[in-house]
A and B are shown apart, each in its own frame.
Chain A
Amino acid sequence: AQSVTQLDSHVSVSEGTPVLLRCNYSSSYSPSLFWYVQHPNKGLQLLLKYTSAATLVKGINGFEAEFKKSETSFHLTKPSAHMSDAAEYFCVVSRGGGFKTIFGAGTRLFVKA
């Protein structure tokens, strides 16, 4: 069985400060892990993915995430937040096949000027 838990429903940061969005997962198999971003009234855009290669994954817009098997975590970070980063972020675990793709509940990121 697979599950994913996003530890914060809301995160608020000031522009220019670091971003940390936390995600823990559970999987009986070797999972693929993803972070997606969703801006209001838009679909989800893939930020980055881990598929059993390098454990530190770099994505678009300066985001990166580190796969830590011992901690079953896949936290998303960015060194310096920008106003345009304000959105909802989803951590996702997948084995492939739609029904085996599990979405976290989402973390809404607020960026203050």
Chain B
Amino acid sequence: KAGVTQTPRYLIKTRGQQVTLSCSPISGHRSVSWYQQTPGQGLQFLFEYFSETQRNKGNFPGRFSGRQFSNSRSEMNVSTLELGDSALYLCASSSDLDRGRYGYTFGSGTRLTVV
């Protein structure tokens, strides 16, 4: 079965702009989690969506938001971009039975560069 698909793979944006990233989980998976990965902070949890509802949220400002559609595809949006938002954004999917208890399948990520 197809893996987790993240688009686009690379993005360059200017400070103050907004950006939308997309994630299609493994077919049948209803849980999608988003992580930000930076050299300084490592992997940090952004939020988790399950059946179109945000279930958990990490410690990020309100500029970071997301949503999940009825087909389980998820998008995350970052408004008013700052230089510090430059990072690899990773999407992880898991089955609705465990929501990460048995591990995630990650996408290849979207590399966002803010200039």
Distance, CA A104 to CA B71, complexed state (A): 32
- Residues of A contacting B48 in the complex (Cβ-Cβ under 8 angstroms): 97-99
Q: A42-B109, A43-B108, A105-B42 are in contact. Are A99 and B56 (CB under 8 A)?
A: yes
Q: Are A97 and B4 in contact (CB under 8 A)?
A: no
Q: Given known contacts A44-B106, A99-B57, what 12 new A-B pairs fall within 8 Å (CB)?
A: A42-B108, A46-B103, A94-B100, A96-B100, A96-B101, A98-B33, A98-B56, A98-B100, A99-B58, A101-B33, A101-B104, A103-B35
A101 and B45 CA atoms in complex are apart in Å by 8
- A94 vs B104: C-alpha distance when bound (angstroms): 11
Taking a contact as CB atoms under 8 Å apart, the answer to whether A98 and B99 are in contact is: yes
Chain B interface mostly helix, strand, loop or mixed? Answer: strand
List A44-91 residues whose CB lies under 8 Å from chain B: 44-46, 49, 51, 90
Closest 8 CB pairs between A and B? A98-B48, A96-B101, A98-B33, A43-B106, A99-B56, A103-B43, A44-B106, A43-B108
**Cβ of A99: which chain B residues have Cβ within 8 Å of it?**
45, 48, 56-58
Q: Report B-chain residues with C-beta under 8 Å of the C-beta of A46.
A: 103-105
B33-71 vs A, CB cutoff 8 Å, 1 = contact: the mask equals: 101000000110101100000011110000000000000
A94 engages B101 (CB within 8 Å): yes
Residues of B with C-beta under 8 A to A51: 101-102
Are A98 and B55 closer than 8 Å at their CB atoms? yes
Q: What chain A residues lie within 8 Å of B104 (beta carbons)?
A: 44, 46, 101
Cross-chain pairs A/B with CB under 8 angstroms, 30 sampled? A32-B101, A32-B102, A41-B108, A41-B111, A43-B90, A43-B106, A43-B107, A43-B108, A44-B90, A44-B104, A45-B106, A46-B103, A49-B103, A94-B101, A95-B101, A96-B100, A96-B101, A97-B55, A97-B56, A98-B33, A98-B45, A98-B47, A98-B99, A99-B57, A99-B58, A100-B56, A100-B100, A101-B100, A104-B42, A105-B42
